[in-house]
Amino acid sequence: MAEYHKVIGIDLGTTYSVVAAYSYAKSDVKVIPNRQNEPTTPSVVYIGPNGQVSVGKAAKEKMSREPGNVIFEVKRIMGARNPLGAKAMARAGGRDLDPEFVSACILKELKAAAEKMIGEPIHDAVITVPAYFKEPQKNATAEAAKIARLNPLAIINEPTAAAVAYGLDKGEPQTFVVYDFGGGTFDVSVVRIEDERTATVLGTGGDAHLGGGDIDHMIVDWALRKMKEQHGKDFSQDAKLIGKLRLRAEQVKINLCNEAQPQELHLENPTSGIEEINYTLTPSEFEVMIKPIIDKTMRQCDIAIESAGKTSQLSHDEIDAFVLVGGSSKIPAVTKMLKDRYKKSVKSDLNPDEIVAMGAARFAASFTPSLAPEITDAAPKVDSSVTVSAELANTNIKDVVSHTLGIGLIDDIYDSLIPKDHVIPHRVTRGGYTTARDNQTSIFVPVFQGDNAKASGNSQIGTVVIDGLAPEPKGTHQFQITFALDANGIFEGSITHVQKGTVTPIKLDRADVGLTQKKRVELAAVLEAGQLPPAPGGPQPSTGSGPTPAPSGGGMGATDPVDSLVDQASELMSTLPADRQREMRDAITKVIQARASGINVAGAVATLTALVMRSRN
C-alpha cells in the first residue's frame, strides 16, 4: 500500500491556504509543506507585466512594490456579482480575471506540493468552504478545482472539517462549538460527534464579510491616522504605502496574538519624503480597537447555539467545548470572551491554522481516487486498484444547509422550501401553487437563498419562466415545486405542471457568474502554461490592488440589462391601474436606490422583474 492516500484535503482560505493528506504509515493526517517548507501558503497571486503567474510568498512580497499586479482575498468575490449585477472580477496587470482562475492558481500550487511529497500525480481533492457560502460560491470553488485539474470529490464546510479533525478519532460522543475566525470570513457551527465515524452539524451562524483581514485594515487605518497627525497629510490614496502597511499590520496582529507585549509598526522610506515611521500598538489598545469585531462574532455564536437548540433540542449543558479555528482565533481576547460568556473550555491544541485542512484530509481518506482529472462535467473514472479501508470508507458527515432556500410569491412573500440548518442531502416536493389571475398564460418563479422574511431581502439565485399556458380562470393550473440539495450543498430543482405532467428544470443563474465548459478548458490550458496572454495595450503600470468588482466582459458599451428593465417597467406603467402604477413606481425607485448604494441590487431587480412579468400577462 502507498504511504499516503491520493485524495488530498485542501483548506482554500481567504488569506492563507493549506493542503494535507492521510498517512497510512502513521494512521494520521500530515500537513504538506509548500516549496518554502512552510505549512501555510498565502492566498495571493501575482500577474507580471508579461503575463507570468506566481503564487504564495513570492506573490505576497510584490504587494508593496507592484500592488496593481497582485490579487489577494479573491475568495471574497467567488461566485459574486458587482453592484451593477454583473460578474465580479479580479483585476491585475490591466486584466480582468475570473475569480475561479485566480483560485485555481492557488490550488495548482497546493496540488504541486502534494505531488512532490507523495511522489505520484494527484487528481482528487476534498475542498473546504465557509459554512456561509451560498450555492454560487460553492459552485465557483468546484469550477476552480476543475481548472486546476482536480476533481472536487466533496465540498465541505470549514467548521465541520475542524470538528472532524478534533473528534472522529476519539470515538466518544462530544458536542463542539467550532469558532472559525479566518482571514476573510467568520463561521460558527455546533457539531455533534456521534462516534468515530459520524459527525452531525446541529446549527450554524457566521458573517461572510468578517475576518482577520478586517483587523489588518483597522491597524492600517490606525497607522494612517498616526501619519496624518505626524505629517499633516492624508496618505490613504497611496497604493504602494497601503501595500507596505498591510504586510506590517498583519505581522503586528500575529505578534500581538503570540505575546502580550507592545508591538512596533516600523517602516523605512514608507513613501516619498518620509524617512521612516515607528508607531507602537499596545495589547490593551489592540483589544479596544478590535472589540466591535469580536462582539459581532459572539452574536453569531449565540445564533448558532440558539439554532441548534431549536432544531435538535440541544441544551447549553450538552456543549463540551469551543474549538478555535483560523489564525485570528489566536487573539487572546477571543479565548477570554468565549470563556467569560459561555463558561466552557476552549480547545486550541491542534493548530488553528491547519485544523481545517487536517479534517478535510481525514474525510478525503474515505474516497477512492480517480484515474485522471476531469475538466469537463463528466464523472471521474475511479481507480479500482486502490482499496480504501472499511474504517475510513464509512466516515459520515451530516452537514446542514446554511441558508434557507425558497421562492418568491406575490406581495414579496418568501415561501421557504428548505429551511436553514436542515440536514443535507435533502429533497422536498410541495404542491398547491397556481396562477394568480384569470387567463394568465405564463408564470415567473424567482428562486432565493437567504434568511430574510421578505423575498426581496434575499439573494436571487435563479428564475423559472413557464410560457404557453392555456387561458383559464385563476387557480385552474396547478404546479408542484421540487428542491433538492446534495451532500455538497449543490442545488437541483424543478417545477411540474400537475395536469399536463410536464417538468421544467430550475436553472440557477450561473451563466453570468459561472463558466462555460469551453471557458473552463481554455483557462485550464492557460494555467498549465503558467503564462497569460499579453494584456490589451501591452504591460500595464501598477496602480491598484486587490480584487476589483468589475463588469464581466471588461466594458460597459453594451446596453445595461438593468437599465433595459427600468425602461420596460416605465413604459408599462402608463398601461396599469393607479394602484399597480404606484407599486411599479416604488419598485423602480428601489432599483435605482439599490444601484446607487450597492445594497441588495439583486433583490430589487428581482422584485421589479416579477412586476414586469405580471403586468404583461
Residue 600 to residue 606: CA distance in whole angstroms: 10
CA distance 47 to 108: 15
Tell me what pLDDT residue 542 has.
Answer: 42
Identify whether 116 is part of a domain: no
Tell me what pLDDT residue 617 has.
52
pLDDT at position 7, please? 93
- Using the 3D structure, point to which of 289, 323, 338 is the last residue of a domain: 289
pLDDT in tens, 482-498: 999 888 778 889 999 99
Residue ranges in 207-282 assigned as alpha helix (H):
212-231, 239-258
Question: For residue 367, is it within any domain?
Answer: no
In a domain, 310, yes or no: no
603 is a domain residue: yes
Query: From CA 134, how far away is CA 130, in angstroms rounded?
Result: 9
Long-range pairs of 389-394 with CB within 8 A, sequence gap ≥ 24: 391/196, 391/197, 392/5, 392/22, 392/365, 392/366, 393/366, 394/197, 394/366
Residue 210 amino acid letter: L
The secondary structure of residue 178, as a DSSP letter, is E
CA-closest candidate to residue 352, choices 254, 247, 214: 254
DSSP code for 169: T
Q: Which of 141, 68, 138 is nearest to 104 (CA)?
A: 141
164 contact partners, CB below 8 Å, separation of at least 6: 199, 359, 360, 362, 363, 395, 397
Annotate 503-543 with DSSP letters as a single string: EEEPEES-TTTS--HHHHHHHHHHHHHTBPPPPTTSS----
Positions of the chain with pLDDT under 50: 384-387, 390, 511, 540-560, 596-599
Q: What is the DSSP letter of 15?
A: S
Residue 94 has what pLDDT?
A: 79
Identify the domain boundary among 453, 486, 519. Answer: 486
CATH number at residue 260: 3.90.640.10
Instruction: For residue 47, report the phi and psi dihedrals to the nearest 5 degrees.
Output: -110, 110
Q: Which residues of 282-318 are buried (b: 16+ CB within 10 A; e: fewer)?
A: eeeebbeebeebbeebbebbebbbebbbebbebeeeb
CB 380 within 8 A of CB 142: no
Q: Is residue 457 part of a domain?
A: yes
Give the H or E element holding residue 8.
strand 7-11
**CA 97, CA 515: separation in Å to the nearest integer?**
12
Q: Provide φ and ψ at 57, rounded to 5°.
A: -60, -45
Measured distance CA(217)–CA(243) in Å, rounded: 11
User: What pLDDT score does 544 carry?
Assistant: 37
Q: Are strands 7-11 and 124-129 parallel, antiparallel or unpaired?
A: parallel
Number of domains observed in the structure of the chain: 3
431, part of any domain: yes
Query: What's the CA gap between 324 and 127, in Å, rounded?
Result: 19
Asked if residue 30 belongs to a domain, the reply is no
CA distance 524 to 92: 19
CA angle 257, 258, 264 (to 5 degrees): 75
Write the CATH number for 413: 2.60.34.10
Residue 581 to residue 566: CA distance in whole angstroms? 14
Query: pLDDT digit string (tens) for 392-427?
Result: 555 677 788 888 999 999 888 999 999 998 888 899
Instruction: Note down the domain range covering 612.
Output: 559-617
> Burial level of 329, CB count in 10 A (0-12/13-18/19+)?
buried
Q: How many CB atoms neighbour CB 493 within 10 A?
A: 25
Report the alpha-carbon angle 582-583-586, nearest 5: 85
- Residue that is last in its domain, among 459, 486, 513: 486
Instruction: Return the pLDDT at 392.
Output: 53
pTM, whole model, 2 decimals?
0.74
* 572: in domain: yes
**Alpha carbon distance 88, 136 (integer Å):** 12
DSSP state of 400: B
